[in-house]
Amino acid sequence: MKKVLMTGLVSASLMLGGCATSMPVGSLLTSVNLPVAATANTGKSTKVGEASCTSILVLVATGDCSIEAAKKAGGITSVNHIDWKANNILGIIGNYKVVVHGN
């Protein structure tokens, strides 16, 4: 009986406990667009560059989600602002994207 009770308590604490994060995270689904940074550069952004990463089963993560990779992809030399997109389903597969806006 003690073993069953202990297993239940451990399971409940793992499911209900969590780490504090600076972004909203859903346990079943996360699909958010968040700002990362803004600069003093004003005016309309004429270019957009994106960089992507993927996570599988929270065990393997690949890709280059750096700001430099996004700038290179969009041919951007002057950054106006940067956004971040996260989509994750049950921790099984996650897709993350850094989006740089600038000129």
Q: Answer for the pair 97, 33: CB distance below 8 angstroms, yes or no.
A: no
Q: Evaluate if residue 1 carries a pLDDT over 60.
A: no
Distance CA 50, CA 87 (A): 15
Distance CA 90, CA 48 (A): 30
Only one residue has tokens 């990779």, namely: 69
Q: Answer for the pair 84, 95: CB distance below 8 angstroms, yes or no.
A: no
How many CB atoms lie under 10 A from the CB of residue 31?
A: 12
Which tokens in the block code for residue 77? 């030399």
Q: State pLDDT tens for residues 33-71.
A: 888 888 888 788 999 999 999 999 989 999 999 999 999
pLDDT at residue 83 in the model? 93
pLDDT at residue 27 in the model? 76
Q: Answer for the pair 79, 102: CB distance below 8 angstroms, yes or no.
A: yes
pLDDT at residue 38 in the model? 82
Amino acid identity for residue 88 in this structure: N
On whether the pTM is more than 0.85, the answer is no
- All structural domains of the chain with their residue ranges: 22-102
Q: Evaluate if residue 23 carries a pLDDT over 90.
A: no
pLDDT at residue 25 in the model? 72
| Mean pLDDT score, 1-20 | 53
